[in-house]
Amino acid sequence: MLEIKNSVAVITGGGGGIGLELARYWVKKGGKVVIADISESLLSSAEADLTAMGGEVLAVEANIVNEDDAGQLAQNAIDRFGQINLVAPFAGIIRDGMLVSPDRDTGKVTRKMALEDFKLVLDINLTGVFLTVRECAEQMINHQCKGLICLISSTGSLGTAGQINYSSTKAAMSVMPKVITAEFFRRGLADRIRCVAVAPGYVGTPMVKGMNQKALEKILSQVPIGRLIEPEEVAQLVGDIYCNEAMAGETFFIHGGLRLGSKG
């Protein structure tokens, strides 16, 4: 079993949402955190919050789709703390929209998903994850670190209407642990650096809780436990997986029993 105390977590999207909640969880358990975000204001607020909790924190403003920024993030973690034990590339966005949208009266397509909306989601949710994982894994290997690469998928990976861009990236997150684990196994690294993904359902972030309440009620009607998943519950799952060294190469769902219907 691994211990969180004194271990170092590198978390992208650490300025808010699940990323910040994971950073809080890590600090509470005695770990050290490197948080990265593209928003300077969110990053500054998160750093102050974590520092007030007594945490050892390094905040790095970074654009995770930039190769140099990703490399510098990993290097900064090593320079400051000497090791990386958890890699959590949690930065992500949505740009929802239907592939094509026919008019109800004419039956002709009047709108379609913009190429820039498709590519932007792929860049941040997929390319950004690739770069973060690649650069951090290099440092972990070179500095003999032991720990976990934890990706974040979603129940959207099962196929959610209106999210062909987002769902595609989250489906990719579901297969990456198998690929990375197989590659590390070939190189004799899989016992030292594990890879998994966690796949939340509807999570009670401030954005979700602040949405149209009728729409939120409809969402909750699909969740057997009758409520949103709390960000702290996702963070705790990551922590449990980190500590349990038998958990590797898989995607672990945390969705309150949610099953997507035929209409996604």
List, for residues 18-42, the tens digit of each pLDDT value. Answer: 999 999 999 999 999 999 999 999 9
Q: Give dist(CA 108, CA 258) in Å, integer.
A: 34
Confidence at residue 63, expressed as pLDDT on a 0 to 100 scale: 97
Question: Average pLDDT of 46-68?
Answer: 97
List, for residues 96-114, the tens digit of each pLDDT value. Answer: 999 999 999 999 999 999 9
Does the pTM of the predicted model rise above 0.85? yes
Residue of 197, 211, 190 lying closest to 253 (CA atoms): 197
The architecture that CATH gives domain 8-254 is 3-Layer(aba) Sandwich (3.40)
Question: Average pLDDT of 59-86?
Answer: 98
The mean predicted confidence, pLDDT, of the chain is: 95
Question: Average pLDDT of 140-158?
Answer: 95
Confidence at residue 262, expressed as pLDDT on a 0 to 100 scale: 66
Question: Average pLDDT of 175-202?
Answer: 97
Indicate the pLDDT class of residue 258, thresholds 50, 70 and 90.
confident
Place of tokens 């436990």: 225
109 beta partners: 102
C-alpha dihedral over 215, 217, 220, 226, to 10 degrees?
170
Per the annotation, the verdict on 166 as an active-site residue is yes
Question: Does residue 50 register a pLDDT over 70?
Answer: yes
| Residue 124 CB burial class (10 angstroms; 0-12, 13-18, ≥19) | buried
Exactly one of 25, 166, 202, 242 is catalytic; name it.
166
List, for residues 201-250, the tens digit of each pLDDT value. Answer: 999 888 788 878 887 888 888 899 999 999 999 999 999 999 999 999 99
Q: How far is residue 89 CA from its own chain's centroid?
A: 5
CB neighbours (10 Å) of residue 192?
A: 14
Map out the domains of the chain as residue ranges: 8-254
